[in-house]
Amino acid sequence: RWFAEKFLKGEGGGDPCGQLFKRYQLCVQKAIKEKDIPIEGLEFMGPSKGKTENSS
């Protein structure tokens, strides 16, 4: 919906998935706590991890 109503009309600014992603993060964090999943010592990938600047 965002793509058709905003992006195609040139109103592509902002973060259309920000709130959805935040809800997803909270859901995952809650499940990790409820299931008592140990996450200490795990490596997490950030936006630049695993990528090189010159990758094509």
Q: What is the DSSP string of 2-55?
A: HHHHTGGGT---S-TTHHHHHHHHHHHHHHHHHTT---TT-----SSTT--TT-
Residue 14 lies in a domain: yes
User: What range defines the domain where residue 28 resides?
Assistant: 2-34
Residue 37's contacts (CB-CB under 8 Å, 6 or more residues apart) are 31
Residue 47 lies in a domain: no
- Residue 17 falls within a domain, yes or no? yes
Whether 54 is covered by a domain: the verdict is no
pLDDT of 33: 93
Per the structure, the count of domains in the chain is: 1
Q: Is residue 21 part of a domain?
A: yes
pLDDT digits (tens, 9 = 90+) for 3-54: 788 878 887 777 778 889 999 999 999 999 999 988 887 777 666 655 555 5
pTM: 0.52
Query: 24 lies in a domain?
Result: yes
The answer to whether residue 11 is domain-embedded is yes
